[in-house]
Amino acid sequence: MILRSLQPNFNLAAICSNIKLLQIMAAKLKLLKSSFLIIITACLLTACNVNYETMASERVKYAQKAQGEIIIVALQDSAESHYIKGVILAVEEINQQKGLLGRPLKVLVEQDSPDFSTARPTIRRIVSNPKVSAVMGHRNTAIALPASAIYEKAQVLFFSPFVTEEELTSHGFDYTFRLLADNKQLVKQISSLGKTLGFKKIAVLYARADEHRKFSLLFKETAQNDFNLVFDQSFLDETLDFRSILSDLKEKEPDVIFLSGGAKTASRLSKQAREMGVDIPIMGSRHLASEIFKTSAGVAGNKTIVPTPYNVHAQTLINQFFVAHYRNKYNQLPDADAAQGYDSVMLFADKVKRAGSTQPALLASIVRFSPPWTGLSGMYHFNKEGNIQGKPYFFQVLNNENWQMLSVATPKEY
């Protein structure tokens, strides 16, 4: 299953001996980035003396004993979001109710890395622990993709709370589950929102990094019948001066800007746009739905509309309970990351209770085929590929330097 993306004539031992050569080959052959990462990971799995099958076997044996603590791992990313706070709160609540299956639930918090090469030792250490049933995290797609191959081989459940790129669930893995609707669903909702808000002429700006370029391309393909594309321009993520681009954009008189890029880059662009009198709304990708963008952009970020999986003001009983407990523990309101952390753990707990076991194969099957479970951000129901189904995004807009929910784009029910 791990090697599904490989062509039969690839010599893995040779590839492992010369990673640099493979990079050159990938560039020349224009291989998809995701497939390239899976090739590298497959190489590491099969030719570098790491026995993941033994790790999986030890995990099964530990699950069969049905004794001792149940362990999950949560990865704290470098942005130091509130994700871990939500995870810890959920674990505490579960243990106050006598744990899972009468056993204590324990969370190990690991620091995530900026790239896969530095993350790999941590990932190997995680999967070498037979008590670990699930891993939650990896905000960076370039880490999540190859990591999913390792979790698959070691039979560790992988809940991905942040990655929306379609490639994550395109390899037929049994243990990988996406907790957000993918980019195809997201751009449909962004396009629909723009149409509802009455925008006609749109300018598209995007960073040339692969993730942002592909997202903007997907948006343009999806929204081509809803808007008149009057301006389309890419830029380097490290760009400091956007004034020339913005001057050309201003001449086209768009109603709205669609912006796909990193939070810090987007904040620089927003500031310069407002300075030049470009005061139209900006519809941003999920990367702009962050404290980094809000703080860096300041007043220039006003009129920026972004997707979010969570509405802190939702009047559901589960959310009111969560907000009250979160404020009591942390003395602040939860954000989307905190809600994703909380839901990740509670979803895992629900599936363990349904399975009556932490047997890896059984647990993965229960996650995939059991009835929908409702969390803070909506309904969690997965298809055979591990994609979440029927879970819409909310949308929020920066107003007076604070995020406010857009009621026109808020799902009325799940």
Render pLDDT for 269-298 as a digit per residue (tens, 0 to 9): 999 999 999 999 999 998 899 888 999 999
What pLDDT does residue 42 have?
46
Residue 330 lies in a domain: yes
What pLDDT is recorded for position 237?
A: 87
| 256 lies in the same domain as 326 | no
* Domain count across the chain: 3
Residues 262 and 402 in one domain: yes
CATH number reported for the structural domain that contains residue 203 in this entry? 3.40.50.2300
Q: Is residue 387 one of the residues assigned to a domain? A: no
327 domain-assigned: yes
pLDDT (0 to 100) of residue 49: 63
Kindly state whether residue 355 falls inside one of the protein's structural domains.
yes
Give the per-residue pLDDT at 9: 41
At position 85, the amino acid (one-letter code) is: K
Residue 389 lies in a domain: no
The pLDDT of residue 41 is 52
- Same-domain pairing of 82 and 151: yes
pLDDT at 308: 95
Asked if 94 and 188 sit in the same domain, the reply is: no
Q: What is the pLDDT of residue 17?
A: 41
The pTM for the full model equals 0.86
Is the same domain home to 259 and 399?
A: yes
- The answer to the question of residue 333 being in a domain is yes
In a domain, 247, yes or no: yes
pLDDT tens digit sequence for 310-345? 999 999 999 999 999 999 999 999 999 999 999 999
List, for the chain, all residue ranges whose pLDDT scores fall below the cut of 50.
Answer: 1-36, 39, 42, 46-47, 412-414
277 and 402 assigned to the same domain: yes
Give alpha helix (H) positions in 224-380: 243-252, 263-275, 291-297, 317-330, 336-355, 360-369
| Predicted pLDDT of residue 47 | 44
The pair of structure tokens assigned to 411 is 């799902």
Residues 264, 404 within the same domain: yes
Residues 94, 140 within the same domain: yes
Same domain, 267 and 403: yes
Q: What is the CB neighbour count within 10 angstroms for residue 107?
A: 20
| Paired residues of 158 in beta bridges | 135, 176
Residue 163 falls inside a structural domain:
yes
pLDDT, residue 290, reads 85
Three-state SS at 1: coil
What one-letter code names the amino acid at 163?
V
- pLDDT for the residue 174: 97
80 in the same domain as 22: no
**Do 218 and 195 belong to one domain?**
yes
Structure tokens at 72: 């999950």
Q: Tell me, yes or no, whether 282 and 403 share the same domain.
A: yes
Q: Phi, psi at residue 344, to the nearest 5°?
A: -55, -45
| Pairing of the two strands 394-399 and 132-136 | unpaired
Domain that residue 41 falls in: 2-47
Q: Where are the alpha helices (DSSP H) in 166-262?
A: 183-196, 210-223, 243-252
